[in-house]
Amino acid sequence: MTDPWPFDQPRNCATFTTAGVIHHGEPIIRVYHDEDDHGWQFHLKETEADEKPLLVCLEHIVNLDPTVLEIADLPPGWMAWRASRLEPWNRRETWANAARIEIAWASFDSQNQFYDSIALQCGWPDWHGKNLDALRDSWVTGGIDTNGPPYVFRFQCSAKMEEDMKAFAEVIHQIAKESVSENGGSFQELGAL
């Protein structure tokens, strides 16, 4: 007898979620099926920037919210979202074709160096400003950059950064997370600021 399990990963596959879903019963509103390893992520509506991710088995997620079975056929590199637990799921491709933004904070001595690197990676027009408002317009609002959004962000952090650059990097990371929340993509932070 074959198991009618509809996901492409086994029941005991480790998946990412947050304490809000597991411990507080908050609804799963956003689901990502990762392109690189076919893993699954189950999130709340808001970006959980301050919450540490939890690993739980996929079957536990299904037991908490059986409506995720409706999106078990979600292709890798896609996301599903809904307004509430009672609403139908929407689907879209996330970062399968997204431009990659690679930032190694240790290589920058100034904000200007950061903006020069980003301008090339994003495909900024010549008139694009080098400030946080312009960056937010590009990454979150969209419609400006040649290459995105969505973006796949990968930040290599360094504890040896100057305090002003560390504070700047924290703001940049928050804008990148907003971009992912609004447009899809992914955010990865290697090391600590």
Give the side-chain half-sphere CA count within 13 A for 126.
0
Q: Per the confidence metrics, is the pTM higher than 0.75?
A: no
Q: How many domains does the chain have?
A: 2
Domain co-membership, 36 together with 82: yes
Q: Are residues 107 and 76 in the same domain?
A: no
Q: Is residue 8 part of a domain?
A: no
Q: Among residues 102, 187, 172, 180, which one has the least CA distance to residue 135?
A: 172
Sheet containing 78-81: give its strands across.
54-57, 14-17, 40-43, 30-33, 78-81, 90-93
In a domain, 7, yes or no: no
Which of 55, 71, 93 is at the close of a domain? 93
In the prediction, which pLDDT does 99 show?
84
Residue 42 lies in a domain: yes
pLDDT digits (tens, 9 = 90+) for 32-47: 898 778 899 998 865 5
Gap between the Cα atoms of 16 and 39, Å rounded: 8
- Per-residue pLDDT reduced to its tens digit, 48-68: 555 678 899 999 999 999 999
76-93 confidence digits (pLDDT tens): 888 898 988 899 998 877
Segments forming the whole domain that contains residue 26: 14-93
